[in-house]
A and B are shown apart, each in its own frame.
Chain A
Amino acid sequence: MTAAQVVFYGACLVMLGSALYVVLGRNLVHCAFALVATLVGVAAFYVFLGADFLAGAQVLIYVGGILTLLLFGVMLTNRIYDLKISTGAVQVFPGAVAAGLVFAVLVWIIRSVDWNAMDTGAPGPTSEPLGKLLIGDYLLPFEIASVLLLIALMGAAMLVRRRTRP
């Protein structure tokens, strides 16, 4: 087994283990921190696929931004001194059905795609072509997405604003 394979399977193990803990763990804050390991594991997958920009963006946005906000949410919605935040395993049967369906779809996709289509040379830098595509061919979807995010941001600010007058 080469060094790259060791790292790959190590990342797989960390990712699956932490993902399982996120689902099964009883301590909500621990689960949120375990999610960090899962998301960093996904970033490691991107690195293995040669998508360097995507890996950087994954860590920056999910670990640096979204997870920190998620932790804020978890920590602020409960009583500060209460460390025994727990989640129970409810709805086992519907959960199992939904998970099985998602698994079936994933297996179907994996089996229906020809994965050897990509050449196996060393991956080049991706940031420049990505930027050119975003500002060139995919300008309209890019702008629509950014306007949508802006609307969501303004909407959120409107909703949480304290009304001083009736």
Chain B
Amino acid sequence: MITRFRQVEMRLMGPLTAIPIVLATVVLVTIAALPFVSAVLSEWIRDAVPAGLQHAVAVTLGTVGFVAVLALNPIYAIWLERKVAAHVQDRLGPMRVGWHGLLQSFADGVKLLFKEDLVPKDADRVLFRLAPMVAIAGAFAAFVVIPWGVRADGAVLAVSNLNIGVLYFIAITSIGALSVLMAGWGSNNKYALYGGMRAAAQMVSYEIPTAILVLVVVAQVGSLSLPEIVAAQAGGFLGISNWLVFQLFPLNLIAFVLFFICGLAETNRTPFDIPEAESELVAGFHTEYSGMRFAFFFLAEYGNMLLISMLAALLFLGGWVGPVGSNPLLLFAKAFGLVVVQMWLRWTLPRLRVDQLMAVCWKYVIPISFFLLVVVAVLKSIL
């Protein structure tokens, strides 16, 4: 029997559920139509904006676009994560707020906005306040070089098409480790400090194999530019057979799996989530954070998950090329698929111990990636 309260709730939630669905549809359609949208916008900029400001306006528009994607991403990703977690554990997850709980993340977001912004009495106020900003800046700055596709006239759909795109990406993501250290130290809390130290040690260690595995790709393609790496994977059977992951079987497949493992470690996701291991460290480096500052760390974490998945898709899975030609939506779909795999792993695998984590990195992943790099370099010079 449905109670009166539940009736009111359902009457209210029914129409509101349309909001996240419409929003997601609009974003996805915009991404799919990005080559067209970008062409129209650049024509408008060429006509309507004075010559000195054209570049600035174009960069601002692109930035607003990807910031919108990055800001909306956690809303859906957190809902999805809770659903994945629930179904792995044979539960239903959020069901009450909106259709299958779709509005739950919106409600949580509003809740976080209204929460009191606490700073512990003995905290290092400057670092405590700076840390979430640095975390966000690191995650968003890396997005600048992500190419979403190419237009019909050959222009690359990136805010900044850097010649050293991959290097910039690896360099800028290392700022995340600094934000974690800042948060850990600034909180003046032993759990936060341990969490921050663990996170930074982990990120610095796993940066090495990440860079080497990127070099495996760079050595095969012969360019540090992301659009050129994708262009090298175009064509082939069904638009799939030229993806780097299928080349030199099984070398690149191993490289891809290792790269994904390193990505998990760099974003501090399970099984590498010892920096925020609830059972031993409360919540790690963000123990003392509440309200919007806490939300910022979450925004950065989900932004980083999407980023590392996009980079994996660009480097190994053909980026925006696929069976239906070339479209930015393909890249987004591949990246989001990898994000779902990250969630699935999180709720399936137990956490590694600190010593196991370092052993995996230094005794297995780094030697194997060096081996891959040498073999690929030798094969490349022979073939």
Contact = CB atoms under 8 A, between A and B. Distances in A.
Decide whether A and B assemble into one complex.
yes
Interface of A: 2-3, 29-30, 33, 36, 52-53, 56-57, 59-60, 63-65, 67-69, 71-72, 75-76, 80-81, 83, 125, 127
B341 interface: no
B182 A33 contact: yes
A137 to B, nearest CB: 20
Interface stretch (B13-21, B29-37, B162-170, B368-376): B162-170
Given A29-B124, A30-B127, A59-B171, A67 B178 contact: yes
A55 to B, nearest CB: 8
Given A56-B167, A57-B167, A64-B171, A83 B124 contact: yes
Nearest to B203: A68
B175 interface: yes
Chain B: interface size category: 20 to 34
B171 A29 contact: no
A53 B203 CA distance: 22
Contact of B188 (A57, A63, A67, A83): A83
Nearest to A56: B167
Interface string B36-59: 000000000000000010001000
Interface in B210-263: 211, 224
Secondary structure type dominating chain A contacts: helix
B292 interface: no
B15 to A, nearest CB: 46
B190 to A, nearest CB: 6
A153 to B, nearest CB: 13
Contacts of B181: 68, 71, 75
Nearest to A52: B164
Given A29-B127, A75-B193, A65 B204 contact: yes
A64 B207 contact: yes
B200 interface: yes
Contact of B174 (A33, A59, A71): A59
Contacts of A75: 181, 185, 193, 197
Nearest to B173: A64
15 contacts: A29-B124, A29-B185, A36-B178, A52-B164, A60-B171, A64-B171, A64-B177, A65-B204, A65-B207, A68-B174, A69-B204, A72-B201, A75-B185, A81-B190, A127-B164
A125 B181 CA distance: 34
6 A-B pairs closest in CB distance: A64-B174, A56-B167, A60-B171, A59-B171, A125-B163, A56-B171
Given A29-B124, A33-B182, A64 B175 contact: yes
Given A59-B172, A59-B174, A64-B171, A125 B164 contact: yes
Nearest to B182: A33
A63 B167 contact: no
B122 interface: yes
A75 B195 CA distance: 13
A64 B130 CA distance: 18
Given A59-B172, A71-B178, 10 more contacts: A3-B56, A29-B124, A33-B130, A57-B171, A63-B174, A64-B177, A65-B204, A68-B181, A80-B193, A127-B164
Contacts of B207: 64-65
A2 B53 CA distance: 10
Contacts of A63: 171, 174-175, 178
Contacts of A83: 122, 124, 188
Given A57-B167, A83-B188, A52 B200 contact: no
B126 interface: yes
A69 B178 CA distance: 10
A72 B175 contact: no
A140 B168 CA distance: 28
B178 A52 contact: no
Contacts of B204: 64-65, 68-69
B250 to A, nearest CB: 28
Given A59-B174, A64-B171, A64-B177, A30 B126 contact: yes
B330 to A, nearest CB: 28
Contacts of B163: 52, 125, 127
A48 B200 CA distance: 30
Contacts of B174: 59-60, 63-65, 68
A143 to B, nearest CB: 16
Contacts of A30: 124, 126-127
A18 B58 CA distance: 31
Contacts of A3: 52, 56
Contacts of A52: 162-164
